[in-house]
Amino acid sequence: MALKGLDIFKLTPKTNCKECGNPTCMAFSMKVAQGAVGIEKCPYMSEEAKATLNEANAPAMKTLKFGAGETEKTLGGETVLFRHDKTFVSQSVFGVNVCAGCFDERIAEVEKVSYDRIGEHMYTEALNLKFSGDKAAYLELVKKAMGHGRALILECTCVETAAAALEICAAEKPILNGATPENYKEMTELAQKNGVLLGISAGDLDALYDTAAAVEALGYKDLVLDVTGATAKDTYANAIQVRRAALKDKDRTFGYPSIVNVAKVAAGDATMQTALASMFVLKYGSIILMDSMTYAQALPLFGLRQNIFTDPQKPMKVEPGIYALNGADENSPCVTTVDFALTYFIVSGELERSGVPCNLIISDAGGYSVLTAWAAGKFSAGTIAKSFKELDIEGKIKNRTLIIPGKAAVLKGELEEQLPGWTIVVAPNEATGLVKFMKDYK
C-alpha cells in the first residue's frame, strides 16, 4: 500500500533538510507522497528506509520487459482496472503457438501479418515454443525461431530441456514459461541464472498463488502468471481475480503480468480463439496466445487493442499527407478531410468503395472531427491552404478540383479566395453518400 506523507515523515531524520529547509521535513515528506520529488533527494535518510519507501510506493503491478532489441516488449505496470479511470499502460502482446512439426506452416502465416495503422506497426509479436517431449526437436525449434524477429516464450516444464534451450537463446531474453508447483525451485534457479522472466502455471488460483509466493521467497520477482484454466470461463475468472487482487487488494504476490493461451480452451476453433482473444484484450491478458493469426484474425484484434490502449483523452490521429486511393495519380481530383482517425477510415473506406481514383488530402486538425475542428478554428480555409503549401499539393498534383466535406460547406467561398485557380466542390453531409456522389461527379 502506498505510504502517506505522515508515514514518510516518521522515517525521515528530524534535522534541517537541504531540499525544503523545514526542520521537521514534513514538507519534503508530503512532496514525496504526492510524487513531486523522489525520496533519493533526501541526503539524510538511510538506505534501508529508502528501500522501504520505494517498495511501498512502487506500482501494485510490476513493469517487466522481455525480448531483446527490436523484439523487446513491455508488460505490466497497470494501475487501474478500467480504462475510463486512467489509461492502460502496456499493450497486450499477441503470440502464436508453434511446435517442431508445425513451425514452417505457422511462421509463413505469421509473417503475412504486417501493416501500419495510425502510426503503429501491426504484426504478430511473439512465438510460443511448445515442448512436445522430444528434446532434440525442441532445441532445433528454438534455433529456427530465433531468426524471425519475434520475442520468444519457452513453454517447457522439463528442467533439462529448458536449460539447454536457454543456452541457445538466453541473449534473446525469452520468457521461461515452465515453473509449476513441482519444479519451481529448479526453474527459478534457471531464470535467475539467465536473467529471464519466469512464467508460473498451476492447476488453480490457490496453487498459482502459493507457487508465486514460494518463488518470491527464493528472491526472484521477475514473474509472469499463466492464468489459463481448463475452460474459457475459468480462464476469464482467473484473469480478473488476479488483476483485482493486485490492483484493488494491493496483493503484490499477484502483481505480475499474465499469460492467456486461448488456444487451450477453444478446442481448435479459430473463430472462437479470435473471439476469446478480443475478450482478453479487455480482461486482462498481458500476453495472448493463439494457434493461428491470419490477416483476417489480426485486423480486428489489432484495431481493438489500439483503441483500448490509447489515452481516451487524446484522440487518435492519422499523419497529414496525400493518400492516393483507387490508383490515383497527379491528374485525379483531390478530396480533403480532418486527421481524426475515425473520420479518415470512414471517408477513405467510402471513397475506395466508389472505385473513383482520387487523392485524399489530410490536414492537421488536432485530431478533431470535422465540425469540432471547424468550430475550434483548426479546420478552416486558412489551415487547409497552409496544409496545401506544406505538402506542396500544387507541385505534385495537376488536377485543380478540391472536394470538401458537406458539413464544412461554409468554407467554399473562403477556399476559392485562398486557393485561386481551384474549383471547390461540396460533398454530401454524410460519408455514406460519397459512393454515389463520386461516381456521378466522375
Residue 220 CB neighbour total at 10 angstroms = 17
d(C-alpha 230, C-alpha 53), whole Å: 40
Give percent of the chain with pLDDT exceeding 90. Answer: 67
Output the DSSP codes for 148-203. GS-EEEEE---HHHHHHHHHHHGGG--EEEEE-TTTHHHHHHHHHHHT-EEEE--S
At 5, list the grid cell: 506523507
Give percent of the chain with pLDDT exceeding 70. Answer: 86
d(C-alpha 183, C-alpha 189), whole Å: 10
- Produce one character per residue of 185-203: b if its CB has 16 or more CB atoms within 10 Å, e if not: eebbebbeebebbbbbbbe
At 302, list the grid cell: 489489432
Average pLDDT over residues 186-206: 96
Residue 225 — φ and ψ, nearest 5°? -100, 120
Average pLDDT over residues 243-261: 94
Q: Using N-to-C axis directions, what is the helix angle for 159-169 and 184-194, rounded to 10°?
A: 10
Lowest mean pLDDT among 43-52, 131-140, 203-212, 386-395: 43-52
Q: Sign of dihedral through CA atoms 196, 202, 205, 208?
A: negative
pLDDT tens digits, 331-388: 999 999 999 888 998 999 999 999 999 999 998 888 888 998 999 899 999 999 999 9
Contact partners, residue 440, CB within 8 Å, separation at least 6:
none
Report the C-alpha dihedral over residues 84, 368, 351, 309, rounded to 10 degrees.
-30
Q: Which amino acid is at 427?
A: A
Residue 319 CB neighbour total at 10 angstroms = 12
Instruction: Share the mean pLDDT of the chain.
Output: 88
d(C-alpha 284, C-alpha 193), whole Å: 30
Cα 79 versus chain centre, distance = 15
Q: Note the pLDDT of residue 101.
A: 87
Look at residue 34 and tell me whether its pLDDT is greater than 90. no
**Parallel/antiparallel/unpaired status of strands 114-117 and 321-325:** unpaired
Contacts 24+ apart (CB under 8 A), 296-305: 297/270, 297/273, 298/94, 298/113, 298/122, 298/124, 300/274, 301/94, 301/274, 301/277, 302/94, 302/117, 302/122, 303/117, 304/278, 305/91, 305/92, 305/94, 305/281
Look at residue 97 and tell me whether its pLDDT is greater than 50. yes
Whether the CB-CB separation of 157 and 178 falls below 8 Å is answered with yes
Whether the CB-CB separation of 25 and 42 falls below 8 Å is answered with yes
Lowest mean pLDDT among 114-128, 301-315, 339-353, 372-386: 301-315
**Parallel/antiparallel/unpaired status of strands 334-337 and 321-325:** unpaired
**Parallel/antiparallel/unpaired status of strands 321-325 and 287-290:** unpaired
At 295, list the grid cell: 490477416
Average pLDDT over residues 172-191: 96
The partner residues of 361 in beta bridges, in order of sequence, read: 322, 336
- Residues in the chain, overall count: 442
Q: Note the pLDDT of residue 121.
A: 86
Q: Enter the pTM of the model.
A: 0.77
Q: Which of 364, 348, 345 is nearest to 356 (CA)?
A: 348
Average pLDDT over residues 100-113: 91
Residue 94 — φ and ψ, nearest 5°? -95, 130
d(C-alpha 7, C-alpha 28), whole Å: 12
